[in-house]
Amino acid sequence: AQSVTQLDSQVPVFEEAPVELRCNYSSSVSVYLFWYVQYPNQGLQLLLKYLSGSTLVKGINGFEAEFNKSQTSFHLRKPSVHISDTAEYFCAVSLMNTGFQKLVFGTGTRLLVSP
């Protein structure tokens, strides 16, 4: 079965510090990978995606992620966070055996940025 694991349910960090949000997946078929951000009582906004090509992907708001096939990981990073980055972050995969149609989400990581 395919799954997405976000090991950290909550990550507290001080403003201007670096942060890494971890995401691992398991799949026997090729995947596309996504990171979404959700602010309170809102829908999801795409931060970045990996479909193919360079394994280092840059997204919006200064975020980047690196696809590591051997470790089946797609960790999200930001070198210096802002208070406004406080939100819920979801890692998601879409699978080749569904034609990359459906998204399977991880359980989410709440990033808490304090002054």
Partner 1 sequence: GAVVSQHPSRVICKSGTSVKIECRSLDFQATTMFWYRQFPKQSLMLMATSNEGSKATYEQGVEKDKFLINHASLTLSTLTVTSAHPEDSSFYICSARGGQGDLSYEQYFGPGTRLTVT
Footprint on this chain of partner 1 (rule: CB under 8 A): 32, 36, 41-46, 49, 51, 90, 94, 100-108
52 CB burial (10 A radius; 0-12, 13-18, 19+)? exposed
**Least distance in angstroms from the C-beta of 79 to partner 1:** 25
Nearer to partner 1, 19 or 33 (CB): 33
> Do residues 13 and 19 make contact, with C-beta atoms less than 8 angstroms apart?
yes
Instruction: Decide: 90 and 106 in contact? Cβ < 8 Å.
Output: yes
Of 22 and 49, CB closest to partner 1: 49
Closest contact distance (angstroms) between CB of 50 and partner 1 is 11
